[in-house]
Amino acid sequence: MSNLLILGSEGFIGKQIKKNIKKNSNHKIYGLDIKGRESKNHFKCNIKNFDIYNFINKYKINIIIDLIGCTNHHLITKNEIKESLNKNFRDKKNIIKCLNKLNRKVKLITIGSLYKFGLQRKIKVKNFIPTNKSDDLQLIFKNKFENKLFQIKNNNIMTLVINIGSVYGNMKLSKIKRMNLIDQIILKIRKKRKNIIYISKKKRFKNCIYINDAANVIISMMQKIKTRYMEVNITKDLVDFNRFAINLKKKFLNIQIKYNEKINLYYYIENHTKKYDLFKNFLIKNVHSKN
């Protein structure tokens, strides 16, 4: 039996992982999230203010599943960019400090994205260094965190980054903007609402995986971490999003498709056509700095 700490335990994937673990194993589960009700097994706190080092030692944590992060690709305002930067990198530097000084063996699983690989031929099954080929801001922030994990010299720590792609099946959200693209499309088709998909210049691939399957993939890999740092790409249901959009157009007449030459940084962008350059100065100061 392992003692697990799930960071972001009240989120979409976190809740499913807890449910699946409780159903199929006797692992002891502890959760940390800024949401949820405080209890003996759940701690309501921002990771940047949490004494994770003493917690891991006190509760003899063997495995950490890191699900903290902002998954939104539609970063329009400076506040949205700051939120993504904080959740995907700055707040999580507390984890790095802890892992660097731990004197007990701990396995860390964190979630990355296939966005950063772009073309299908560049997507390998395993990678042993952090990689990012994308200008997507969310992935820039995530990659900064992955680089910090890669630089950990503590031999007690083994890290696995699971690049899992687009996890769908969350139909309970009220705000479509916060939904996964697949869930947005499903909901809009059900409600017979118009949907706009912008197609990028470059061919882009992303894995689309149902929430229960995604949780099971993460759980199945908990005991399989054998190296100091490794990335595994989940590519079972790989989708060319441009072709996906065209096929949707053929099947559902109420879905509009637009090709926007001004935007080539994303697979899709919904309801806005703001330029990346609007935030160039902000990015230089806050994202591409050395911190």
Query: Counting Cβ atoms within 10 Å, is residue 112 exposed (0-12), middle (13-18) or buried (19+)?
Result: buried
Residue 210 has a pLDDT of: 87
pLDDT band, very low/low/confident/very high, at 96 (cuts 50, 70, 90): very high
| Residue 248 confidence (pLDDT) | 66
Predicted pLDDT at 60: 96
From 5-19, 108-122, 264-278, the region with the lowest mean pLDDT: 264-278
| Residues 119-170: tens digit of each pLDDT | 666 677 788 999 888 878 888 899 999 999 999 999 999 999 999 888 888 7
pLDDT at 194: 66
Position 251 confidence tier, pLDDT thresholds 50, 70, 90: low
Q: What does the pLDDT look like over 206-238, one tens digit per residue? A: 778 889 999 999 999 988 888 999 999 888 777
CA distances 118 to 5, 134, 198, 283, Å, are: 32, 7, 16, 22
Q: How confident is the model at residue 107 (pLDDT cuts 50, 70, 90)?
A: very high
Identity of the amino acid at 175? K
Between 112 and 260, the higher pLDDT residue: 112
- Confidence (pLDDT) at 168: 84
The confidence score (pLDDT) of residue 148 equals: 97
Q: What is the pLDDT of residues 61-88, one digit of tens each?
A: 999 999 998 777 667 788 888 899 999 9
Query: Which residues, including other chains, have CB under 8 Å from residue 211's CB and lie 6 or more apart?
Result: 12, 13, 16, 167, 168, 169, 170
Residue whose pair of structure tokens reads 């899992």 in the numeric block? 164
pTM of the model: 0.83
Contact 11, 67 (CB under 8 A): yes
Q: For all residues of the chain together, what is the average pLDDT?
A: 80
Does 201 or 78 have the greater pLDDT score? 78
Domains of the chain are 3-286 (3.40.50.720)
The whole-angstrom separation of Cα 56 and Cα 201 is 46
Angle of CA points 33, 63, 35, to nearest 5°: 5
Is the predicted pLDDT of residue 263 greater than 60, yes or no?
no
CB 167 within 8 A of CB 181: no
Where does the pLDDT of residue 261 fall: very low under 50, low under 70, confident under 90, or very high at 90 and above? very low
Q: Is the pLDDT of residue 57 over 80?
A: yes
